[in-house]
Amino acid sequence: MSSASDPVENLRTLIRCPSVTPAEGGALGALEAMLKPLGFETERPVFREDGTPDIENLHARLGSKGPHLAFAGHTDVVPTGDESAWSHPPFAAEISDGMMYGRGAVDMKGGIACFVAAVARHVQKYGPPKGSISFLITGDEEGPAINGTKKLLKWAADRGETWDGCVLGEPTNPETIGDMIKIGRRGSISGRVTVSGVQGHVAYPHLADNPLRGIVQVAEALLDPPLDDGTDQFQPTNLEITTIDTGNPATNVIPASATLAFNIRFNDRWTADSLKAEIEARVARGAAATRLRPGKSAALKAEVEWPTPVSPVFLTRDETLISTVAGAVEAVTGRMPALSTSGGTSDARFIKDYCPVVEFGLVGRTMHMIDECVAVEDLETLTAIYERVIADWFAGRP
């Protein structure tokens, strides 16, 4: 049996690579070493953009014809935090009481380790697939996500590659392997509101305009009423105010301006344009409602900025891909997984522009936490599910 067929050893190798974003840390090299003996052709393109770190990525493909099934993921991990707070060193991959500890254990080196093992077992039992399997692995998912999956997909597509479906190995299960498949995601948009006033001494308020009066009214207008109550496939749109700041360290100075930042996770009732229009109207309403001191005749000035790109809402409707993954989960675990669009964003937002994509991986309860860990038995279960996905996906195809 190929050494790559053991998901525990695969994961141990990957965790021991300290690939904190944006460092490659040896993880892509380790993964390449697992895949080449299985017959994969590999490349490691590096993408660049001004103002962002250079990112190395991995493209690996087994086979040259369709149908083409891709597995996507990332080997980069978030920082460990206080390493002394870990019960086991974060890059040691130690096993204790049936749990493997390490940064990236579930998010998402564990998913990659299991898919590699599943491919190795499939090749050992049946030979190469009746088509192609590829890995699209980035080192930029936990970072800016600029020089990673988005550019890797375009790079491959520009060379003529197409995909019929993709499994993204993010941790999707809330409690137990088999709980949930992600078939879409709400969109994400971030904004910033700046209310301008007139700086002055707090003892002479008639000579100043306090922008905090306006920022409070703007906040109320943004939050009430709720943007919607959800749709058949998606949770309600939610707007969260993440910071209010004046940059003012003094307690005896009325600040010149106040800034409010927010993020919205939105469903398919909205487009980016319609949501921006609604927010801008609410901001204007809040600014107009601000009660000014006597003698002040003009409303405070409020401006809205949209500093980052919008992540669009999407829903996968490919029944072949969904039923293949759901059927594999049920066959291995006996559970019929929920089809969900909950949670935050992922690189699926880029993949959906090229092919149908679903997300299924490990239990995510400890991701990004101190003592991130995965049950060793879950690694075997996920490998068996992925192995069934591969077999069922290619079964009966010409």
Q: Are 323 and 339 in contact (CB under 8 A)?
A: no
> Identity (one letter) of the amino acid at 75?
T
pTM: 0.89
C-alpha span between 276 and 262 (Å, rounded)? 12
The pLDDT score that the predictor gives to residue 344 is 84
The pLDDT score that the predictor gives to residue 2 is 61
- Could you tell me the residue ranges of all domains in the chain? 3-185+313-394, 187-305
pLDDT > 70 fraction of the chain, expressed in percent and rounded: 96
> What average pLDDT does this structure show over 328-354?
95
> What average pLDDT does this structure show over 55-83?
96
76 is catalytic: yes
Ranking 23-37, 228-242, 290-304 by mean pLDDT, the lowest is 290-304
Mean pLDDT across the chain: 94
> What average pLDDT does this structure show over 43-70?
96
Per-residue pLDDT tens digits for 154-205: 999 999 999 999 999 999 999 999 999 999 999 999 999 999 988 999 999 8
141 is catalytic: yes
Q: Which of 6, 24, 56, 76 is catalytic?
A: 76
C-alpha span between 127 and 121 (Å, rounded)? 9
Q: Is 368 annotated as a binding residue?
A: yes
Q: Are 53 and 22 in contact (CB under 8 A)?
A: yes
Indicate whether 1 pLDDT > 50: no
Per-residue pLDDT tens digits for 219-243: 999 999 999 999 999 999 999 999 9
Q: Which of 6, 24, 56, 141 is catalytic?
A: 141
Q: Is 74 annotated as a binding residue?
A: yes
CA angle, residues 255, 256, 260, in degrees to nearest 5: 80
366-369 long-range contacts, Cβ below 8 Å, gap at least 24? Answer: 366/105, 366/106, 367/106, 367/107, 367/171, 368/78, 368/107
pLDDT confidence band for 396 (50 / 70 / 90): low
The pLDDT score that the predictor gives to residue 299 is 64
Q: What's the farthest any 2 CA atoms get from each other in the chain?
A: 84
The pLDDT score that the predictor gives to residue 272 is 95
**124 is written with which tokens?**
């050992």
187-305 classified as CATH 3.40.50.1820? no
Give buried/exposed letters for 245-259 (b at 16+ CB in 10 A, else e).
ebeeeeeeebbbbbb
Ranking 58-62, 125-129, 323-327, 362-366 by mean pLDDT, the lowest is 125-129
What does CATH list as the number for 3-185+313-394?
Answer: 3.40.630.10
Q: Are 313 and 268 in contact (CB under 8 A)?
A: yes
Indicate whether 8 pLDDT > 50: yes
C-alpha span between 122 and 173 (Å, rounded)? 24
C-alpha span between 333 and 178 (Å, rounded)? 6
Look at residues 47, 70, 181 and name the one whose alpha carbon lies nearest to residue 134: 70
Q: Is 170 annotated as a binding residue?
A: yes
Indicate whether 297 pLDDT > 80: no
pLDDT confidence band for 345 (50 / 70 / 90): confident
Per-residue pLDDT tens digits for 242-296: 999 999 999 999 999 999 999 999 999 999 999 999 999 999 999 888 766 655 5
